[in-house]
Amino acid sequence: MAQEAGMFTVPKTIGSVLCCKCGILMQPNAANMCAKCLLSEVDITEGLQKHVVIIHCPECESYLQPPRTWIKTQLESKELLTFCIKRLKNLNKVHLVHAEFIWTEPHSKRIKVKLRVQKEVLNGAVLEQAYTVEYVVQDQMCESCTRVQANPDQWVAAVQLRQHVSHRRTFFYLEQLIIKHDEARNAIRIKQMDQGIDFFFVNRSHAGKFVDFVGEVAPIRKRNDKQLVSHDQKSNNYNYKYTFSVEICPICREDLICLPPKVAASQGNLGPLVICTKVTNSLALLDPFTLRHCFLNAEQYWRVPFKALLSSRQLVEYIVLDIETVSSEVVVGGSKYVVADAQIARVSDFGKNDIIFNVRTHLGHLLNPGDYALGYDLYGANSNDIELDRYKGLVVPEVILIKKSYEEKRQRKRNKPRSWKLKSLNMEIDNSTRGRDNEEKMDSEYEQFKRDLEENPELRFNISLYRNKEYQPSEMASDIDGDDFPSIRIEELLADLELSDEEMEDGSTRE
Amino acid sequence: MATRLQFENNCEVGVFSKLTNAYCLVAIGGSESFYSTFEAELADVIPVVKTSIGGTRIIGRLCAGNKNGLLLPHTTTDQELQHLRNSLPDSVVVQRIEERLSALGNCIVCNDHVALTHPDLDRETEEMIADILGVEVFRQTVAGNILVGSYCAFSNRGGLVHPHTSIEDLDELSTLLQVPLVAGSVNRGSEVIGAGLTVNDWTAFCGSDTTATELSVIESVFKLREAQPSALVDEMRKSLIDTYV
């Protein structure tokens, strides 16, 4: 500091003094004793533990941190070093500078750690000393390993997901969501059942967390039960098996619904015929003629549950002959709709007879003459619905169009592989109840699901799509077609890394 | 010859005693062992006087003196002043001085020719010191400490300073004092030399914690090994004769 001020300072060389104990020449320090004499005088490691016992589970390679936690680490790893140091008491009296392992034979059941500590002694001199701590490793199985050993595949909690509809679209979608959020990591078994999936967990809280997750992405009704498995009279510990029964609402996207009078009235006399446009943890219903919409959440639905009148299995293909817009573009719940009058004919009738329908539709923004559309044929349908009968004097339209169809264009590209692929969960399939027909039905449903994904960007929002390595983009380029059916841009796909244990999604920044 | 002793189980003997070539002052303690050690060494040669200064026992740190005189702080009572005047030989001038820094033993360290003082000492006090003690006065610091009396002790033959003193400082002080100086510790590594040690030309007293190494350093720098009062005279005789023709 004096030098900065420009003052002249005399250079100071420190002289040497004799150590007051052994008399060797040394630099003066706070204690005026050489390091050796100081060490012999004061032992700063006095009172510190030199022998510790740690407990290790040989099955899962984990070490016990009392009272209950088991920490899984490898030998000579950083986590093990931290764990060993944590097990030493009184280490807060000295200042830890350095710690490392000393090699011991792996089967010797001994771990040696060399620690260097610093402490202030005498009159301000800070002394640094190294010492070794020896850990004796005792083997003891941890509770989870004992349980597994006693009865493997023993589950403690089960979640039974069911949806009483004839298709599995919802479960395909849920499967992708579960993979994306990695919610099934705690499940020890996943089993595919008729009209649902069963998940088995080791911990009730894992099952509860899973049920909460499903509740956030689908409208559900749940109940849970428990069954006593064993009872320890001395310690009053009860072991139960917990079951969660989760029922997903049977209404899916693109379903045609006739609302019960009570529900229609509570939503402001929404026209009894509505289309379900979106299903998350609430249902979005749209009246296609007035473009009014409403949301029903799970509680509201289950108070007065209703079924779909017609579902997407019963969609019929129509060709649009003429279209005339009636209203301007309206944005309803994030999507655009335009009310239009359309002249349509069934594809099966087209060219054979002259049956033409004049209908009002909400797809005015999408359809042009000559386009194909899918819709529900109420003219020819024989519905057995109680709700419909309740409405006296209701004029039921002949056709309600739901979506535009790309079937023609798809036919051209039928055998081309897609540029993207999906992952799937590791499910057990109960083979006894399945026949050959079911498998074909499943495959075609899965194909339909993939087409839905291509056509609906909002459906893709929550799902991860991976790049398909087998796909050759050069084949695409040779096909010069105009704007055809919607497909997924390459930027939306995530690269699938070839790691065996973990899947790393590095594409999250791309989306 | 250096002696190790304790005052009431405390090793800081320089606090409770003052030793010069002409007299020795000792504090009044509970037991007589402190006084009797001094007596045993010095009885025939110089008077050993038991006293207090300002009612306290820390006399070594409150007064400063050499064979020519003794300076006392303003806190000294008249009775103590009179007692000292009576007990000490007439050649020694006993004077009480008015000085703001009243721990004269910490602020002034001297032998019979040279004195080092606290840099903030009054000008009048400095003149008094020069006058009464008959010494040349230098304002100095020792190893950056202004309390020179605490961190160094010297006699006419040699001196011991604070162990952290740099070599340049050591040379400078040595030139001023005209005696050989060494940096060292006393009482098992204690840096407060003036409190742990009291010395004159032929003998020294230090605390009982002083290690053998420290003791040997003290004995060699103050040249105490062969020192007997008579030996001083022989040495002087040798130096007086210039040459044999």
A12 contacts in B (CB within 8 Å)?
166, 168-169
What pLDDT score was predicted for residue A470? 67
* Region of residue A134 (left: phi > 0; alpha: psi -120 to 50; beta: else): beta
Mean pLDDT of B190-204: 93
Compute CA distances A328 → A194, A337, A365, whole Å: 46, 8, 9
Q: How close is the nearest chain B Cα to the Cα of A22, in Å?
A: 7
Q: Which helix (H) or strand (E) holds A386?
A: helix A386-390
% of residues, chain B, pLDDT over 70: 92
pLDDT recorded at residue A153: 67
CB of A37 within 8 Å of a chain B CB? The answer is no
Residue B110: per-residue pLDDT? 93
pLDDT of amino acid A500:
38
Nearest to B150 by CA among B191, B188, B204: B191
Nearest CB to A20 within list B168, B170, B189: B189
| Average pLDDT value for residue range B171-177 | 93
Distance from CA of B144 to the nearest CA of A (A): 11
Strand order in the sheet with A273-279: A293-297, A282-286, A273-279, A256-258, A308-310
Name A251's Cβ contacts closer than 8 Å, sequence gap at least 6. A257, A276, A279, A283, A301, A306, A307, A308
Would you say A214 and A234 are in contact if contact means Cβ atoms under 8 Å apart? no
- Residue A23 near chain B (CB below 8 Å): yes
Using CA coordinates, name the residue in chain A closest to B164: A28
The predicted structure's pLDDT at residue B244: 58
A28 touches chain B (CB under 8 A): yes
Q: Which residues of A touch B214 (CB under 8 A)?
A: 18, 20
User: Would you mind telling me the total number of residues written for chain A in this entry?
Assistant: 511
As a whole number of angstroms, the distance between CA B16 and CA B51 comes to 10
Identity of the residue numbered A270: L
Q: Higher model confidence: residue A100 or residue A153?
A: A100
Cβ(B117)–Cβ(B127) below 8 Å: no
Residue A349 contacts residue A336 (beta carbons within 8 Å): no
Q: What kind and span of H or E run contains A390?
A: helix A386-390
| CA atoms of A449 and A446, how far apart (whole Å) | 5
**Tokens standing for residue A360:** 């009002």
- Asked if A13 has any chain B CB less than 8 Å from its own CB, the reply is yes
Provide the whole-model pTM: 0.50
How many angstroms separate the CA of residue B211 from the nearest CA in chain A?
A: 6
Question: Distance between CA atoms of A65 and A62, rounded to whole angstroms?
Answer: 10
Q: Does residue A236 come out as left (phi exceeding 0), alpha (psi in the -120 to 50 range) or beta?
A: left
Q: Does A97 touch chain B (CB under 8 A)?
A: no
How many CB pairs (< 8 A) connect A and B?
Answer: 52
Percent of the residues in chain A that have a pLDDT greater than 70, as a whole number: 86
Residue B186 near residue B206 (C-beta atoms within 8 A) = yes
Higher pLDDT, A482 or A209: A209
* Between B47 and A438, residue with greater pLDDT: B47
Lowest mean pLDDT among A179-183, A295-299, A304-308, A494-498: A494-498
Which of 64-93 (A) contact B at CB < 8 A?
A: none
Kindly give, in sequence order, each residue whose CB lies less than 8 Å from that of residue B227, ignoring residues fewer than 6 positions away: B1, B157, B201, B202, B203
CA distances from A232 to A140, A151, A228 (A): 22, 18, 11
CA distances from A168 to A247, A276, A374, A425 (A): 14, 17, 20, 15
Indicate the range of A330-339, A469-478, B85-94, B202-211 predicted with least confidence. A469-478
A73, A62 Cβ separation under 8 angstroms? yes
Q: Residue A503: is its pLDDT beyond 70?
A: no
Whether A17 sits inside 8 A of B213 (CB atoms) is: no
A19 touches chain B (CB under 8 A): yes
Cis (ω within 30 of 0) for the bond into A67? Answer: yes
CB contact under 8 A, B184 and A18: yes
Query: Pick from A10, A13, A17: which is nearest to B185 by CB?
Result: A17
Token look-up 């944005």 returns: A331
Contact A22 B213 (CB under 8 A): yes
Separation between Cα atoms, residue A87 and residue A73, nearest integer Å: 15
- Tell me: pLDDT of A173 over 60: yes
Helix (H), strand (E) at residue A3: helix A2-5
A2 near B CB under 8 A: no
Q: Is 90 exceeded by the pLDDT of residue A136? A: yes
Q: b/e map of A489-504 (b: 16 or more CB within 10 Å)? A: eeeebbebeeeeeeee
pLDDT at position B19 over 90: yes
Highest mean pLDDT among A28-37, A328-337, B146-155: B146-155
**Which residue in chain B is spatially nearest to A33 when comparing CA positions?**
B189
B147 CA to chain A: closest CA distance, Å?
18
Q: Do the chains contact at B168 and A10, CB–CB below 8 Å? A: yes
Residue A151 touches chain B, beta carbons under 8 Å: no
Chain A residues with CB-CB distance to B169 below 8 A: 12
Of A7-11, A179-183, B56-60, B89-93, the range with the lowest mean pLDDT is A7-11
Q: Kindly determine whether residue B189 and residue A122, on different chains, have CB atoms separated by under 8 Å.
A: yes
Query: By the 8 A CB rule, do A81 and A99 touch?
Result: yes
Nearest CA distance, A3 vs chain B (angstrom): 17
The shortest C-alpha distance from B14 to chain A (Å) reads 19
Q: Are strands A187-193 and A125-139 parallel, antiparallel or unpaired?
A: unpaired
Residues from chain A that touch B183, judged by Cβ atoms under 8 A, are 15, 17, 28
Of the candidates A11, A18, A21, the beta carbon closest to that of B217 is on A18
DSSP label at residue B131: I
Determine contact: A42 vs chain B, CB below 8 A: no
Strand partners, B53: B56
With CB atoms and an 8 Å threshold, state whether B189 touches A15. Answer: no
How confident is residue A402, by pLDDT bands cut at 50, 70 and 90? confident
The residue type at A471: Y
pLDDT-based confidence at residue A4 (cuts at 50, 70, 90): low
CA distance B121 to A104: 67
Substitution target from B4, B145, B166, B221 for chain A, most A beta carbons within 10 A: B166
- The yes-or-no verdict on residue B76 having pLDDT over 80 is yes
| DSSP codes, A178-219 | HHHHTGGGGEEEEEEETTEEEEEESSHHHHHHHHHHHHHHS-
Residue pointed to by tokens 């009636």: A326
The model's pLDDT over B93-152, given as tens digits with 9 standing for 90+, comes to: 999 999 999 999 999 999 999 999 999 999 999 999 999 999 999 999 998 899 999 999
Mean pLDDT value across residues A72-90 = 87
Residue owning tokens 């020795």: B24
Per-residue burial over A137-172, b = 16 or more CB atoms within 10 Å of its CB, e = otherwise:
beeebbeebeebeeeeeebbbbbbbbbebebbbbbb
Query: Using the beta-carbon criterion (under 8 Å), do B214 and A20 form an inter-chain contact?
Result: yes
pLDDT of A476: 46
ipTM above 0.90, yes or no: no
A15:B217 CB<8 A:
no
* Bridge-based pairing state of the strands B17-19 and A340-346: unpaired
CA–CA distance, A246 with B149 (Å, rounded to integer): 90
For the ranges A336-340, A362-366, A371-375, A435-439, the lowest mean pLDDT is seen at A435-439
A436 touching B, CB under 8 A? no
**pLDDT tens digits for A461-498?**
777 777 776 666 544 443 444 334 566 666 667 765 54
pLDDT category, A229, cuts 50, 70, 90? confident
The pLDDT assigned to A413 comes to: 65
- Tell which wins on pLDDT, B196 or A124: B196
More reliable by pLDDT, A289 or B138: B138
Chain B positions touching A123 (Cβ under 8 A) are: 189-190
What pLDDT is attached to residue A443?
83
In tens, the pLDDT along B146-173 reads 999 999 999 999 999 999 999 999 999 9
Helices (H), chain B: 13-16, 33-42, 59-62, 78-87, 104-107, 123-128, 148-151, 167-177, 193-196, 212-221, 229-240
| Closest to A402 (Cα-Cα) out of A383, A423, A372, A376 | A376
Mean pLDDT of chain B: 90
Of A378, A373, A383, A381, residue with least CA distance to A398: A378
Q: What is the pLDDT of residue B74?
A: 95
